[in-house]
Chain A
Amino acid sequence: SSELTQDPTVSGALGQTVRITCQGDILRKYYPSWYQQKPGQAPVLVIYDKNNRPSGIPDRFSGSTSGNTASLTITGAQAEDEADYYCYSRDSNGDRWMFGGGTKLTVL
């Protein structure tokens, strides 16, 4: 089966642009979705279907894919964006799905 690899930690200054990446060969075939999880809460969808945001998600969140790497970009990171972020995709091996290992974002 495939794998999705994320950096365990990413940090950026308040107001700066931060990028969280997700690598995997399956991303050449499928677009991932992205989830934000704050402590004690369920994950929340932030980006889906290439680069779409659910209602209520600020437009500073955007998604892109190039080759085997997908990126979640936060343009002008805010303190409330500190959270864990996960990418998610269908697996190449049958009707299964998978998550990346997650990235903990710290906004300095």
Chain B
Amino acid sequence: QVQLVQSGTEVKKPGASVKVSCKASGFTFTNHFMHWVRQAPGQGVEWVGIINPSGDWTNSAQKFQDRISMTRDTSTSTVYMEMRSLTSEDTAIYYCATDHSNSDSSAWWLDPWGQGTLVIVSS
């Protein structure tokens, strides 16, 4: 079935980096942009960034631009999100999600989502 499976919980110290993976199956991975979304404890969801199907273009929310990298490995149908210089405010569940769009109607949607990866930043 169509699914995204993410890597497990990470515990990091402030200032460290984290790399989260997301493995796709059940669909043509190379046809889709992939997004990252995060959710801090008790908060709403927040868009983090996007990577194109070939992996040679990425973009992210302004607040993450200087400390995030997104890559993808088409041989394993896996996308990665690395965030550097972590602070306690980066403690959150990080989700990957598959992009879909309809240019005729100017609509975008995300489906499916991964199960989420909890990243805890604590000294």
Residues on A lying within 8 angstroms of B by beta carbon are 1, 29-33, 35, 37, 42-45, 48-50, 54, 84, 86, 88-90, 94-102
Contacts and interface: CB of A to CB of B under 8 A. Distances in A.
B28 interface: no
B76 interface: no
Nearest to A103: B44
B45 A99 contact: yes
Interface in B68-123: 95, 100, 102, 105-116
Interface residues on B, range: 20 to 34
Interface of B: 35, 37, 44-47, 50, 59-62, 95, 100, 102, 105-116
24 contacts: A30-B108, A31-B106, A32-B107, A33-B109, A35-B45, A42-B113, A42-B114, A43-B37, A43-B45, A43-B110, A43-B113, A45-B110, A45-B111, A45-B112, A48-B111, A49-B107, A86-B45, A88-B47, A94-B59, A96-B47, A96-B62, A97-B50, A99-B37, A102-B44
Contacts of A54: 111
Contacts of B111: 45, 48, 54
Given A42-B95, A48-B100, A99 B109 contact: no
Contacts of A30: 106-108
Contacts of B44: 84, 86, 99-102
Contact of A97 (B35, B62, B115): B35
Given A42-B95, A50-B105, A99-B47, A35 B110 contact: yes
Given A88-B109, A98-B47, 5 more contacts: A31-B106, A49-B109, A96-B47, A96-B62, A97-B47
A45 B46 CA distance: 15
Contacts of A31: 105-107
B106 A33 contact: no
